[in-house]
Chains A and B, each alone.
Chain A
Amino acid sequence: DIQMTQSPSSLSASVGDRVTITCRASQTISSYLNWYQQMPGKAPKLLIYAASSLQSGVPSRFSGSGSGTDFTLTISGLQPEDFATYYCQQSYSFPLTFGGGTKVDFK
């Protein structure tokens, strides 16, 4: 199975900050990488697919980059509704696997 490792596991930030979350795959996954946002008690929400494609309806302050084994989710100008937990997920090979999550909370 491909292991997905996110860093940091948590971070504190303020409204307006630029936030960067990293996801590393245990082997190359090309660009088969998705990002999700999960609010407490809610289902995950797809933000980015294919490493850098913005899902319909997602604000443009969210962006994704990377290929191979190293990927980044960037939030440019953190908004109050962005305080949540973020997960990466690979679909290069079965089984599909998720990262452990990065919790973004208030500084």
Chain B
Amino acid sequence: QVQLQESGPGLLKPSETLSLTCTVSGYFISSGYYWGWIRQSPGKGLEWIGFMYHSGSTYYNPSLKSRVSTSVDTSKNQFSLTLSSVTAADTAVYYCARVLDYYDSSGYGFDYWGLGTLVTVSS
């Protein structure tokens, strides 16, 4: 079955860059599907960050777009998230997930999720 696992630093200082990697097992990223990131904080609930296709097509939340970038490494079956200039407001549990698309790829949900990783931004 498909499994995802996030990895990366759990503590950052303000203005630093957050970098997370999601390792996928049970499915080859290069075979298809979009792969995405969602975060959850007590103050803002669940927030969609963005998702990407292995070929490079991306969709980002406009509220984060200026600070977000993503990449895919098909040789390692991993995809990554980078969020620059973090502040305390970026403190959250970050999830990676596979995107289920429906209605001829105009509808999107998240059918497989990682366990999540807590990222804290504090000086």
Q: How far is the CB of A18 from chain B (nearest CB, A)?
A: 25
Whether A53 is near chain B, meaning CB under 8 Å from some CB there, is yes
Interface contact B102-A49, CB-CB below 8 Å: yes
Q: Contact partner of B45 among A31, A32, A100, CB < 8 A?
A: A100
Interface contact A50-B103, CB-CB below 8 Å: yes
A3-36 interface bits toward B, Cβ cutoff 8 Å, 1 = contact, 0 = none? 0000000000000000000000000000110101
Query: Given the interface contacts A44-B113, A91-B107, does A97 sit within 8 Å of B48 by beta carbon?
Result: yes
Interchain Cβ contacts within 8 Å, total number: 64
What's the interface size class on B, roughly? 20 to 34
Interface contact B63-A95, CB-CB below 8 Å: yes
What's the interface size class on A, roughly? 20 to 34
- Chain B residues whose C-beta falls within 8 Å of the C-beta of A89 in the assembled complex: 46, 48, 109-110
Interface contact B48-A45, CB-CB below 8 Å: no
- Tell me what chain B mostly uses at the interface: helix, strand, loop, or mixed: strand
Whether A69 is near chain B, meaning CB under 8 Å from some CB there, is no
Whether A98 is near chain B, meaning CB under 8 Å from some CB there, is yes
CA distance in complex: A64, B1 (Å)? 26
A96-107 interface bits toward B, Cβ cutoff 8 Å, 1 = contact, 0 = none? 111011000000
- Chain A residues whose C-beta falls within 8 Å of the C-beta of B108 in the assembled complex: 91, 96
